[in-house]
Chains A and B, each alone.
Chain A
């Protein structure tokens, strides 16, 4: 391979470095109205009246839209597919009368500029009838906020996978408890959307950074009763998502405003608004009981989870179940049960977040294994080696082979390169002589997915055409989050076509011209869509050779592509440029060189990572410093290893934050933390030189060139590894994530040293 496996910058790096590349917040259109939102001032109640007269009196204000002067536009912000595929209730309105949290949208002001819109929004007078609210698990379970005798439990379910082992009753039972706080995605680009409506064509155009243009089209077109082909959704350059831009917050509002006002509209949430009114990672608490043989063999898992859905159920039913299946992607778990409950509260709704609950469930799992290793007297690495799935085994939940899993190699290579045993011994020596600072080293594994399959049938489509100068234009629904999907796909296509990547153009998703696609979720882009890109490249290669064969009057199978030319194996003097073949095809065969592909995968190999973390805890201040970090990942084949590594380091940054400091707390009046001054992300001095190693000798059967996934699995073991290291350092059993300075100091104070 010439290109696959090389280190390439993201496709739009130059525009990002020059500052010229435009994000949604940078777009302007003639006559555009700027929108500013009025949010609910109370966590629960009814809007009884809205007086917008003062706002409307301001110079430059075009309109104030709210529930009392617009039809009721209902939708479900989690929907990504049509109703028959995704049976979801229309649980919220663009403008609410019944408000369920302090981020609910009450009214929107449209004005000639953002400042005028925001000043006017502050003048909109809203009156409320207050209702009792529930802001945490205990208040929620009491049902204080429930109307008409409704239960606070939105969903309760049990699931069993596998069969009990004969010696289960003699097993050693170990239980861990964990509580996890709400997290903010904190993509540096806050939420933004631009929409325009053409009344003559009855066409609505929405531009926003999203993970699924077709999902937005479904939601908006259904909500406005418009034909799908008159709603055009274009994915703009995305300044990070991490799951935060896969549910539709601004798009329905902008669609309604553009249609009513018949002019372009732009809505940009600032950080406070993004934190207040979009969605977060759910707060969770629960217990995991493991049953082990004395030799460390895992016999059974029983997980009991309570999840805070916040004000809307959204994705919670899926979010609480999906990660359970990921236990069977990494470990040999013969039997497991999940009991889950989802409760509603009057807080920020929970929603999609990178790893989809897997990072959370592996906090329980790895905590359990660390405790088991103590109880059973088995080294943590050894205990994991005993239980990880090996090639030839099955993921018993999905009923699919794990294929060429390299989890064992991740553990062995990681332990060797991280100097696991030496570090653990050094920590013990250090802790024996240090009173104030304590060090701990821990390991964590986790498994994830590459596709929606087997949850449902996954597929992708790609088209590519050769221009008459021999360059290539490809058409595929890409939603690059900023982690290099476009570049990876260009590399895949370029590899098949023997072309440099800069001769290939590939735009991102646009419902007006790119093929239907589920969107960029489930770590499916490279594995599923990337494979379709590869197939399309092969098909276009065949078309080029077929034309050239007619041009040269030689058999097609004697031709091959080399460095942008068609060559004949029988005579190395024969060389046609793609431009010559393309032009000849147009003139003589009366068509352009074109190929498409449809690919549906029927496999989903396990993809895992093993992470090693070493921390130092200052027992006086409660501050924890991550001293060393190594992430080892089984990726099959890295298409662009530099971006895989950079993305994984980002996952480590995010997971360290989750483990040590990030939390969206809720004040007694129902307001969530809404500022980066109070929501602490890891910055450059907080982090060590994070090491990432990729194991690439375990190819998938179906991914392009054997690739698996990296986007979400990178996040999955991090908080578990760091939390484990803190507990190891303190010889403690801290259960609440994040293990922030307050919690650590409280623990030290109680313990009394």
Chain B
């Protein structure tokens, strides 16, 4: 099918099988390998991206669902060479170890903060419940999201 949608605010037009996964389109066709595959079934969250501002598993999102949509990947967060506040907070709060879950974790956190700019630690944990990290106990990840929310102005 002929497909037109947006990735990181850039228009993308592709001729592709409607059953292809968004994950494969991003990684193989567009070279956006920051989105990772960890389980292929929506359990681990490593492939999380935003679609029209909502967190989705790109391994469970098919090409046919993309028409006209706005997809944001981890590569779309950095602006003018500056990491997004969330990305920077993940670095500075020591919330990154092996890093394989990190990009998906940041995208889920981004979706949370778009909806709820001042989440409690419990709300952060709930929002990240679909993102698995094997290296940590999630403590620094929750701290990073809290701090990013605070730095972005929280509820104000």
Chain A positions within 8 Å of B, measured between CB atoms, are: 7-10, 12-23, 25-26, 113-115, 185-190, 237-240, 242, 270-272, 481-484, 642-643, 646-647, 649-650, 652-654, 675-677, 681, 683-685, 687, 689-690
Q: How far is the CB of B83 from chain A (nearest CB, A)?
A: 6
Would you call B100 and A187 a contact (CB within 8 A)?
A: yes
Q: Which residue of B has the minimal Cβ distance to A7?
A: B94
**Per-position 1/0 for B58-82, Cβ under 8 A of A:** 0000000000000001110010000
Which residues of chain B have C-beta atoms less than 8 A from A12's C-beta? Answer: 99
The reply to whether A9 and B91 form a contact with Cβ atoms under 8 Å apart is yes
In the docked arrangement, what's the CA distance between A272 and B37, Å? Answer: 12
Report the bound CA distance from A270 to B59 in whole Å: 12
A12 to B90, CA, bound (A): 12
Asked if B151 is at the interface (CB within 8 A of a chain A CB), the reply is no
Residue of B nearest to A8 (CB): B94
Residues of B within 8 A of A653 (CB): 133-134, 136-138
B46 cross-chain contacts in A, Cβ below 8 A: 188
Chain B interfacial residues counted at CB < 8 A = 56
Chain B residues, Cβ within 8 Å of A15? 99
B92 at the A interface (CB under 8 A): yes
Residues of B whose CB lies within 8 Å of any CB of A are 24, 27-28, 32-41, 43-44, 46, 73-75, 78, 83, 87-88, 90-92, 94, 96-103, 106, 121-122, 124-126, 128-142
Known contacts A239-B98, A272-B40, A676-B44; is A681 also within 8 Å of B91 by CB?
no
Least Cβ–Cβ distance between A508 and chain B, in angstroms: 13
CB-CB under 8 A from B134, the residues of chain A are 185-188, 240, 242, 650, 653-654, 681
Point out the residues of chain B lying under 8 angstroms from A20, CB to CB. 34, 75
A158 to B32, CA, bound (A): 55
Q: Which of A22, A26, A642, A646 has the most CB of B within 10 A?
A: A646
The answer for the CA separation of A575 and B66 in the assembled complex, in Å, is 63
B35 touches A19 (CB 8 A): yes
Asked whether, in the complex, the Cβ of B94 is within 8 Å of the Cβ of A676, the reply is: no
CB <8 Å contact, B92 and A684: no
Q: Are B99 and A685 in contact (CB under 8 A)?
A: no
- Cα A115 to Cα B63 with chains together (Å): 15
Q: Please tell me which one of the listed residues A26, A188, A240, A242 contacts residue B33 in the complex, with CB atoms under 8 A apart.
A: A26
Nearest opposing residue in chain B for A115, CB measure: B24
Given A22-B33, A188-B133, A642-B94, 5 other A-B contacts at CB below 8 A? A9-B91, A18-B34, A18-B83, A650-B135, A675-B43
Query: What is the bound-complex CA distance between A654 and B106, given in angstroms?
Result: 22
Say yes or no: A19-B41 contact (C-beta < 8 A), given A483-B135, A650-B97.
no
B96 with A10: CB separation less than 8 A = yes
Q: A685 is contacted by which of B43, B88, B125 (Cβ under 8 Å)?
A: B125
Max chain A C-beta neighbours (<10 A), residue from B35, B91, B130: B91
Give bound CA distance, A340 to B41, whole Å. Answer: 39
Shortest C-beta distance, B150 to chain A (Å), equals 18
Query: Are the CB atoms of A189 and B98 closer together than 8 Å?
Result: yes
Q: Which of B99, B131, B136 contacts A21 (CB 8 A)?
A: B99
Among A8, A16, A675, A676, which residue has its beta carbon within 8 angstroms of that of B99?
A16
What's the Cα separation between A239 and B101 when bound, in Å? 8
Q: Please, which residues of chain B bring their CB within 8 A of the CB of A26?
A: 27, 33
Name which residue of chain B comes closest to A657, CB basis: B134
User: A16 near B137 (CB under 8 angstroms)?
Assistant: no
For residue B36, which residues in chain A have a CB less than 8 angstroms away from its CB?
23, 25, 188-189, 239
A185 to B34, CA, bound (A): 23
Expressed in whole angstroms, the Cα–Cα distance for A18 and B102 within the complex equals 9
A501 nearest CB across to chain B (Å): 14
Q: Is the CB of B135 within 8 A of A676?
A: no
Q: Report the minimal beta-carbon distance from B91 to chain A, rounded to whole angstroms.
A: 4
Q: Is A188 in contact with B101, judged by CB distance below 8 angstroms?
A: yes
With CB as the reference atom, state the residue of chain A lying closest to B140.
A646
What is the bound-complex CA distance between A10 and B92, given in angstroms? Answer: 10
With both chains docked as a complex, state the minimum distance between the C-beta of A229 and any C-beta of chain B, in angstroms: 31
Given contacts A17-B88, A188-B46, A188-B133, contact A484 B97 (CB under 8 A): yes
Q: Write the chain A residue with the least CB distance to B81.
A: A18
Contacting pair B98 A482 (CB below 8 A) = yes
A325 to chain B, nearest CB (A): 27
- Does A690 contact B139, Cβ atoms closer than 8 Å? yes
Q: Are B38 and A189 in contact (CB under 8 A)?
A: yes
User: Nearest CB to that of A17 among chain B residues?
Assistant: B87
For this complex, 15 residue pairs linking A to B, each with C-beta atoms less than 8 Å apart, are A10-B96, A19-B74, A19-B75, A26-B33, A188-B100, A189-B36, A242-B134, A272-B40, A484-B97, A646-B97, A646-B136, A647-B136, A653-B136, A676-B132, A677-B41
CA distance A684 to B95 in the complex (A): 13
Q: Kindly state the separation between the CA atoms of A113 and B98 in the bound complex, as whole angstroms.
A: 27
**B43 close to A482 (CB less than 8 A):** no
Contact A482 B126 (CB under 8 A): no
Asked if A239 and B99 sit within 8 Å, CB to CB, the answer is: yes
Is A647 a contact partner of B100 (Cβ separation < 8 A)?
Answer: no
Closest chain B residue, CB of each to CB of A240: B98
Residues on the B chain within 8 Å of A675, using CB: 39, 41, 43
Q: Is the CB of A190 within 8 A of B38?
A: yes
B128 & A684 in contact (Cβ 8 Å cutoff): yes
Q: Which of B74, B97, B122, B133 is the most central at the interface, judged by chain A CB atoms within 10 Å of its CB? A: B97
Partner of A650, one of B32, B91, B136: B136
**Residues from chain A with Cβ under 8 Å of B129 in the complex:** 683-685
Point out the residues of chain B lying under 8 angstroms from A683, CB to CB. Answer: 128-132, 138
